[in-house]
Structure 1
């Protein structure tokens, strides 16, 4: 049986995106973002209609990811240096430089459920610098949180996000925070790819055999 309800954001992590030598991006090892308070992300991009012949002829998909906020008790220094690109000087003071470009990252987190935690990953995120704010104590102390404005965009492959489902394998579920999960091909897709590869191999073999036969005929 699957979850009926969800509640309680927890176990947030981030994984820096690294540019590879061949132009492909890879993910670093997920690191904890402790103190997650709330997350609220709205879809970016709505379907658009194309009209022809006096009717709604085609609906254009316009999935541009999500925009919103991630609220934390306090942003950890590792995130400030890895993603916001603040620099620690010789005295371990964090310095913000206007010439630094912020980095991209995958955002991982989970919601509690009545049966099992639901684990999520947003593949291609960026975060803006948080506000500097606090206020004096009054009759009681009030914790001042910090908020990251997050933009989650599609990868070059088109992938935006993934989350665990009712039938997700235990092995994948248990290793969710060890490495960023990337979609696996379905058996049907793998079979089609194998069939296409086999057909290409047979075609190349047949072509090679034909060329060799023609070469032998010319020699004789």
Structure 2
């Protein structure tokens, strides 16, 4: 059982042409600047069922990844450049251009503090992410009390091209400082 969302971060994908993909060092958002408020990941893919003798005998799901919604405290420079592909000028201004270039790809890291268990964190790492929709820009006036707006990012987490991995979940006492994929155990043949 998890107690709370503990940290949200990302690791830029530095190369998808190399096998396997390579990632830069993970970056975690400072809680008071762009800390995570809510994260939800909805599975993306279709399920096919084959019936025989009036019973479902084969159920196969195409795992096309997840549609991840991430609500943060605010949009910081890192997100503008590393997630949205915007340009930061030498004066500190952010430029958003009309472009058909693909947005940057990254691994999304979502750490949850565990309530019980032998380790402190459960960490989901979505391995091949891209912002699928620019966040809305909305502002409003406060009416006597602090009433903030929080940006929400829609992220497509899809399978990697090299090994088809979508997500890795780790259980650890420390947040990951590198993205290292675990080795798959040999599996028993399904036809055995």
Kindly indicate whether the alpha-carbon contact (under 8 Å) linking 1:13 and 1:177 is maintained by their aligned counterparts in 2: no
Comparing both structures, which one devotes a greater share of its residues to helix?
1
Secondary structure of 1:80's match? Answer: helix
Kindly indicate whether the alpha-carbon contact (under 8 Å) linking 1:39 and 1:69 is maintained by their aligned counterparts in 2: yes
Q: Which residue of 2 aligns with 1:202?
A: none
How far apart are residue 140 of structure 1 and its match?
A: 0.3
Cα deviation code 1:97-155 (max 9, x no counterpart)? 12143111101121122233212211111112111001101020112211101111111
Q: Which residue of 2 aligns with 1:124?
A: 128
**1:30 and 2:26 correspond:** yes
Equivalent pairs counted in the alignment come to: 177
TM-score (norm 1): 0.72
Give the alignment of 1:95-106 within 5 angstroms: 95-99=95-99, 100-106=101-107
Q: Which residue of 2 aligns with 1:68?
A: 68
Q: Which residue of 1 aligns with 2:190?
A: none
**1:114 and 2:119 correspond:** no
Structure 1 unaligned segments of length 5 or more: list them. Answer: 166-172, 190-220
Give the alignment of 1:3-82 within 5 angstroms: 5-19=1-15, 22=18, 24-34=20-30, 35-51=35-51, 56-82=56-82
Report the RMSD for the aligned CA atoms in angstroms.
Answer: 2.2
How far apart are residue 65 of structure 1 and its match?
A: 1.2
Q: Which residue of 2 aligns with 1:158?
A: 164
1:22/1:140 Cα in 2 relative to 1: closer, same or farther (>3 Å)? closer
How far apart are residue 175 of structure 1 and its match?
A: 5.9
Structure with greater contact order relative to length (CA < 8 Å, sep ≥ 6): 2
Comparing both structures, which one devotes a greater share of its residues to strand?
2
Kindly indicate whether the alpha-carbon contact (under 8 Å) linking 2:111 and 2:175 is maintained by their aligned counterparts in 1: no
Distance in 1 (CA, whole Å) between partners of 2:97 and 2:20 is 27
How far apart are residue 51 of structure 1 and its match?
A: 4.3
Structure showing greater Rg:
1
Kindly indicate whether the alpha-carbon contact (under 8 Å) linking 2:121 and 2:174 is maintained by their aligned counterparts in 1: no
Distance in 1 (CA, whole Å) between partners of 2:17 and 2:72 is 34
Q: Which residue of 1 aligns with 2:146?
A: 141
Structure 2 unaligned segments of length 5 or more: list them. Answer: 188-192
Secondary structure of 2:81's match? Answer: helix
